[in-house]
Chains A and B, each alone.
Chain A
Amino acid sequence: MTALLDIADVSKWFPAGAGPGAWARLKRRLSGGVEKLPKVYAVDDVSFAIAKGETVGLVGESGCGKSTLVRALTRLIDVSQGSVKLGSRELALKPARVFARDRDRARIQMVFQDAGESVNPRFTAFAAIADPLRRLRKLRGNALKERVETVAGQCGLPLQLLSRFPHQLSGGQRARVGIARAIAVEPDLLVLDEPTAALDVSVQVVVLQLLQRLKKELGMSYLFVSHDLSVVRLLCDRVLVMYLGKIVEAGPAAKVFEHPLHPYTQALVAAVPRLHETASRLRLTGEPRSPIDPDPNACRFYGRCPHGVDACKTTMPALDAFGDRQVACHFAESFLPQPRIAS
Chain B
Amino acid sequence: MTDLAASPRQESSLTALVRHSRYVLGENPVTGFAFALFVLIVLAAVFGPHIVPYDPLASDTSEALKPPSLQHWFGTDQLGRDVFSRVVVATRLDFFIAVASVALVFLMGGLAGVAAGFFGGWTDRIVGRIADTIMAFPLFVLAMGIVAALGNTVQNIVLATAIVNFPLYARIARAEANIRREAGFVEAARLSGNSDWRILTFQILPNVFPILVVQMSLTMGYAILNAAGLSFIGLGVRPPTPEWGIMVAEGAQFIVSGEWWNAFFPGAALMVAVFCFNLLGDGLRDMVDPRRRT
Q: Which residues of A contact B (CB under 8 A)?
A: 71, 74, 76, 96-97, 100-101, 105-106, 108-110, 112-114, 117-124, 126, 128, 131-132, 135-136, 140-142, 144-145, 148, 162-165, 167, 178, 181-182, 185
Contact = CB atoms under 8 A, between A and B. Distances in A.
Contact of B188 (A96, A118, A165): A118
B190 A144 contact: no
B9 A163 contact: yes
Contacts of A181: 188, 192
28 contacts: A76-B191, A97-B195, A100-B193, A100-B194, A101-B195, A108-B191, A110-B187, A112-B188, A117-B184, A117-B185, A118-B183, A118-B187, A118-B188, A120-B185, A120-B207, A121-B290, A123-B185, A126-B5, A132-B192, A132-B193, A135-B192, A145-B2, A145-B4, A164-B12, A167-B293, A181-B188, A181-B192, A182-B191
B136 interface: no
A120 B193 contact: no
A74 B193 contact: no
Contacts of A110: 187-188, 191
Interface of B: 1-2, 4-5, 8-9, 12-13, 183-185, 187-196, 198, 203, 206-207, 290, 293
Nearest to A110: B191
A131 B189 contact: yes
Contact of B193 (A136, A140, A148, A178): A136
A105 B193 contact: yes
Which of B12, B185, B192, B207 is most buried by chain A, counting CB atoms within 10 A of its CB? B192
A120 B1 contact: no
A76 B12 CA distance: 34
Given A120-B206, A182-B191, 13 more contacts: A74-B191, A108-B191, A110-B187, A112-B187, A118-B187, A119-B184, A120-B185, A121-B185, A135-B198, A144-B2, A145-B4, A148-B5, A163-B5
A144 B4 CA distance: 12
A145 to B, nearest CB: 5
Contact of A117 (B183, B196, B203): B183
A126 to B, nearest CB: 5
B2 A141 contact: yes
Main DSSP-derived SS at the B contact region: helix
Per CB-CB distance, the 6 closest pairs between chain A and chain B, nearest first, are A118-B184, A132-B192, A135-B193, A141-B1, A120-B185, A163-B9
Nearest to B10: A163
A182 B188 CA distance: 9
A140 B191 contact: no
Contact of B184 (A112, A126, A135): A112
Given A113-B184, A141-B1, A165 B192 contact: no
A122 B191 contact: no
Given A141-B2, A142-B1, A120 B191 contact: no
Nearest to A115: B184
B18 to A, nearest CB: 15
A123 B183 CA distance: 14
B188 A119 contact: yes
B125 to A, nearest CB: 13
Which of A110, A122, A128 is most buried by chain B, counting CB atoms within 10 A of its CB? A122
A76 B190 contact: yes
A113 B185 CA distance: 11
A131 B195 CA distance: 12
Given A117-B184, A118-B185, A101 B290 contact: no
Nearest to A109: B191
Given A120-B185, A122-B206, A136 B4 contact: no
Contacts of B188: 110, 112, 118-119, 128, 178, 181
A96 B193 CA distance: 11
Contacts of B183: 117-118
A128 B191 CA distance: 12
A140 B194 contact: no
A126 B183 CA distance: 20
